[in-house]
């Protein structure tokens, strides 16, 4: 089912583990000062997008801490009551299992072919104790289908990979193409009817 009204997909601001290039997945680290400034910029840009919009807007977020903190900052920028955010566990990041908290350098010591193996099979590859792209795709597709069926403008604050999968589903991409989509923290995306527009924050 195609989106007939915009869906905005935003990634959380920069975190301490982002700066250290550590895998976060279902674990968490706090926003950096830069990450909080990114969230404020997202809020200003989202506010301009929503200014003058008619009809309701639904605000969804991943329940992980970095997404919640980003959403709260965005909400303050647009004058949104904190209680209007709805947590949806299907929006959490891809689970990296035993790799969470590790850098790629750490991972390559114990799994030297990990990145090559993942790129070779992005749909089915599973980090030890983690989640496959196929599993993430299934939960993301369910969210997207519900939003499309509702016909209600929606804002999502989530994560890099899970957000890319939502975008890829809207664009009709396969797992390999989704794997390489950019995952910015200084821009977000407006999804509508099988296309997307990149909105730079400022």
Active site residues: 12, 93
**160-171 and 133-150 are packed helices; what angle lies between their axes, rounded to 10 degrees?**
60
**Cα separation of 127 and 112, whole Å?**
13
Helix locations, 87-154, DSSP H: 104-110, 114-120, 133-150
């Amino acid at each position: 089912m195609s989106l007939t009204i915009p869906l905005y997909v935003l990634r959380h601001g920069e975190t301490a583990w982002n700066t250290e290039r550590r895998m976060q997945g279902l674990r968490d680290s706090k926003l950096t000062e830069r990450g909080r400034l990114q969230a404020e910029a997202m809020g200003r840009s989202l506010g301009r997008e929503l200014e003058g919009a008619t009809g309701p807007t639904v605000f969804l977020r991943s329940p992980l801490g970095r997404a919640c903190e980003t959403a709260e900052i965005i909400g303050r920028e647009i004058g949104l009551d904190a209680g209007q955010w709805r947590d949806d566990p299907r929006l959490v990041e891809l689970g990296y299992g035993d790799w969470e908290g590790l850098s790629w350098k750490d991972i390559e010591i114990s799994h030297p072919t990990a990145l090559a193996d993942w790129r070779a099979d992005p749909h089915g590859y599973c980090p030890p104790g983690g989640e496959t792209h196929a599993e993430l795709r299934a939960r993301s597709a369910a969210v997207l289908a519900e939003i499309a069926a509702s016909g209600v403008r929606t804002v999502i604050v989530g994560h890099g990979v899970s957000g890319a999968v939502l975008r890829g589903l809207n664009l009709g991409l396969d797992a390999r193409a989704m794997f390489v989509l950019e995952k910015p923290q200084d821009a977000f995306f407006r999804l509508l009817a099988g296309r997307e527009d990149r909105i730079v924050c400022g």
